[in-house]
Structure formats: C-alpha cells, structure tokens
Amino acid sequence: GNSVTQMEGPVTLSEEAFLTINCTYTATGYPSLFWYVQYPGEGLQLLLKATKADDKGSNKGFEATYRKETTSFHLEKGSVQVSDSAVYFCALTHMDTGRRALTFGSGTRLQVQP
Amino acid sequence: EAQVTQNPRYLITVTGKKLTVTCSQNMNHEYMSWYRQDPGLGLRQIYYSMNVEVTDKGDVPEGYKVSRKEKRNFPLILESPSPNQTSLYFCASSRITDTQYFGPGTRLTVL
C-alpha cells in the first residue's frame, strides 16, 4: 500500500534560517504529492502540491520538487519566520481513483525562535 | 466565503451515547471525506463519498457511519462511542479531480 515517511520533529530553528523537512513516499504509479500545514488550534491548509514528476510546487516562500527517482518531496524555505511555526504534513493521493484517500505522514512540528 | 464547516468544534461525551458530527461545504463539491488525526499516526481516512447517496469505507471505518442525503452535508455518526474514538476529526471536500480542502476540526473526547 501507500505510505509517507517524514523526518521526526520537532525542528527548532532561528528566524531567517534555512528550512528543509524531508519527505519520502512509497506508492504505485504516479501519485500527486502535497504539503499541508496546521497552525496551532486550526485545521489543515494546503501549502503546495505537485502532480507529476519534476514538478515544483511553491507558495509563501516554500518549495518542494516531485522527485520520482528518489521518491521524495522535500519541503524547503530559504528564510523562516516565527509565523511559520506549525506542524507540516506531507501527503499523497492518486487523483484518478475513486477513493482518493490522502495518505499522510505523521507530521513534523516546526518551531521558529526570534 | 468558500469553506468547510464542522460542528461541534469540541465535544466531551460518555461511552455508548450516540453522537453526530456535522460537516457542510458551500462549494458544490462532489467529493467529501472524513479523517481522524491521532498523535504519531498522521491522518487516516474513515469514510468518503463521491456524490449524493454514494459512500464507501476508508482505512478505519469501524465504529462509524455516514450519510450523504444532500450534496453539501456529510455527517459522521458514532452509534456507540468508545474511548478509542477519542481523536481529532477532520472533514474534507473537493471537486472530483481537485485538491481536498479541510474543515477546522472537531476534537472529541469519549470518557
């Protein structure tokens, strides 16, 4: 079956530091890949997505590239802010199937200190 | 404003007392789904619906029921809640081939 593995957290960084959160996946075929973010006390928000190999998703300074050869979708940001403190979830789904269940990683908590 | 709403946001109940968590979306989405979020496990799908009167099981359907009588609503029903159903629940919706958008979550505690 499908699975998503994320690096364990928490990740603690100082403001303006470079961020990488690793995500690797196991899936058949060609899944679509997502990063969702959950701010404290809130629901999940879509951060970015990529639907085919070598696609780069980007939003709010975050980027991730769909690497089929390494089955990875690592999240990066060049300069984090305190407001980026949240839990980040990597996820995948097959958009061409009926169930379209998102398979999530366990989440990585990011703490950014001023 | 396009949104997915859930009610209640917080609920404390006792074992065996039937409850319903409502989910509603105003985007005319065909697809709706319920997930539960547990520490260290990420989110797991409970049930999903492709359209009105079309529902099916996800990865963890035991102990839950759903219905889809109207396109905008997709309630989650716990007929006889147990403590292992204590969790954070999310409803999501989307067009059939589009990204899923999530509600704010319902935190359920079963004593």
Overall average pLDDT of the B54-75 stretch: 96
Query: Residue B42 is nearest to which of A49, A99, A106, comparing CB atoms?
Result: A106
- Residue A79 is predicted with a pLDDT of 96
Q: Mutate which of B3, B43, B47, B96 to disrupt the A interface (most A C-beta within 10 Å)?
A: B43
**A69 in contact with B, Cβ within 8 Å:** no
Query: What is the distance between the alpha carbons of residues B91 and B49, in angstroms, rounded to a whole number?
Result: 11
Residues with Cβ within 8 Å of residue B39, at least 6 apart in sequence? none
Where are the extended beta strands (E) located within A1-114?
3-6, 11-14, 19-21, 23-26, 32-38, 44-50, 56-59, 62-65, 75-77, 86-93, 103-104, 108-113
DSSP 3-state assignment of B84?
Answer: helix
DSSP 3-state assignment of A84?
Answer: helix
Q: What percent of chain A has pLDDT over 90?
A: 75
CB B68 within 8 A of CB B25: no
The length of chain B in residues reads 111
Contacts of A46 in chain B (CB under 8 A): 99-101
**A48 in contact with B, Cβ within 8 Å:** no
Smallest CA–CA distance from B6 into chain A, residue: A43
Put simply, the answer to whether B41 touches A106 (Cβ < 8 Å) is yes
Which band of pLDDT confidence, cut at 50, 70 and 90, is reported for residue A99? low
Question: Could you tell me how far CA B64 lies from the centroid of its own chain?
Answer: 9
Residue-wise pLDDT tens digits, A36-78: 999 988 888 999 999 999 999 999 999 999 999 999 999 999 9
Give residue for tokens 């979306």.
B25
Reference A91, options A34, A24, A8, A30; nearest CA is A34
